[in-house]
Amino acid sequence: MLQAAARAHRGPLRSRVWLSVRKSSRGRHQQGTLANKVAVVTGSTDGIGLAIARRLAQDGAHVVISSRKQPHVDRAVATLQGEGLSVRGTVCHVAKAEDQERLVATALEHCGGVDFLVCNAGVNPLVGSILGTSEQVWNKILDVNLKAPALLLSQLLPHMEKRGGGAVVILVSSISAYKPFTELGAYNVSKTALLGLTKTLALELAPKDIRVNCLVPGIIKTDFSKIYHKDEAFWKHMKEANGIQRMGQPEDCAGIVSFLCSPDASYITGESIVVAGFSPRL
Ligand code: NAP
């Protein structure tokens, strides 16, 4: 059924097929632009990742959520299932190979495959000079922010290929990729590298009909960015320098990800979309 839908996705009947109501593997009737698709979202028990997971599920997908801590996974699963959404959860520290394997196994066991991978988990363990960054901190930032998306995708790729086309990968970068923030040196570099990873993967996976795009958030009100949104002087400078009118919310990012996964975005790949209340590039 899903393969038929994927074939139809590339043909003129796609909207009729995608919008139809179908019975899910959990016995529910899914409806929406992403009906009966399966999404894996990393770092999705809070902030931007949780908002993305919720939106994809609201739009009809079965979503596998994950993060490092079991209580966070349990809380997020209970919250989203309480909203009537089709979600499963498992612990996955994205830089741990055994956790990646468990995430893949969870998606296959409970959802029967994977259509969308959203690599949202990211860390910045240090505020300080790039030249004062220790090798240990460099390794952590590059392992989690840059290498983990590529390694997790390598594991999921055979299963995404089995969908017969139409699978989608979304990487989550930052405006610091375009406009480096002082004292976020290695983090800035990791997020710039994700733009390159997006372009390279898009090229490599195009023959398999797998699209790869990048979400580039600005300052979004989450726990991760509290150092910035609680700093009045910084925020005043950001608003005046860039014409920003309000602080971003996680939901500002979620709709774009759902769109990029949808058939409406079927001719968009290798692209980076800024969600920041301003544009940091030409
Ligand atoms: P957040 O609110 O702090 O949430 C982070 C989520 O990721 C939590 O669910 C956390 O749960 C999980 N997580 C952290 N480290 C992980 C790891 N190693 N493996 C798996 N899961 C992990 O952060 P956020 O603001 O939503 O940020 C999400 C992404 O957006 C990051 O890639 C960040 O760089 C990017 N971003 C954010 C902003 C912003 O202003 N907020 C701006 C630009 C880019 P556990 O603690 O249970 O692991």
pLDDT tens digits, one per residue of 2-26: 333 334 333 333 333 333 333 343 4
| Cα distance from N-terminal residue to C-terminal residue, the chain | 43
- The residues, any chain, with a CB within 8 Å of residue 222's CB and separated by 6 or more, are 46, 47, 48, 250
Mean pLDDT over the full length of the chain: 90
- The residues, any chain, with a CB within 8 Å of residue 35's CB and separated by 6 or more, are 18, 19, 20, 21, 22, 60, 61
- pTM value > 0.85: yes
Distance 11 CA to ligand 1 centre (A): 37
Q: Is the CB of 149 under 6 A from ligand 1?
A: no
* Domain boundaries of the chain, sorted by first residue: 2-275
202-214 pLDDT per residue, tens: 999 999 999 999 9
Pocket-testing residue among 67, 94, 142, 272, ligand 1, by greatest number of atoms within 8 A of Cβ:
67
Q: Is the CB of 171 under 6 A from ligand 1?
A: no
Q: Which residues of the chain have pLDDT under 50?
A: 1-27
Distance 19 CA to ligand 1 centre (A): 32
Q: Which residues are catalytic?
A: 187
Minimal-distance CA residue to ligand 1 atom 2:
47
Q: Is the CB of 118 under 6 A from ligand 1?
A: no
Q: Is the CB of 96 under 6 A from ligand 1?
A: no
Minimal-distance CA residue to ligand 1 atom 31:
122
CATH superfamily of 2-275: NAD(P)-binding Rossmann-like Domain (3.40.50.720)
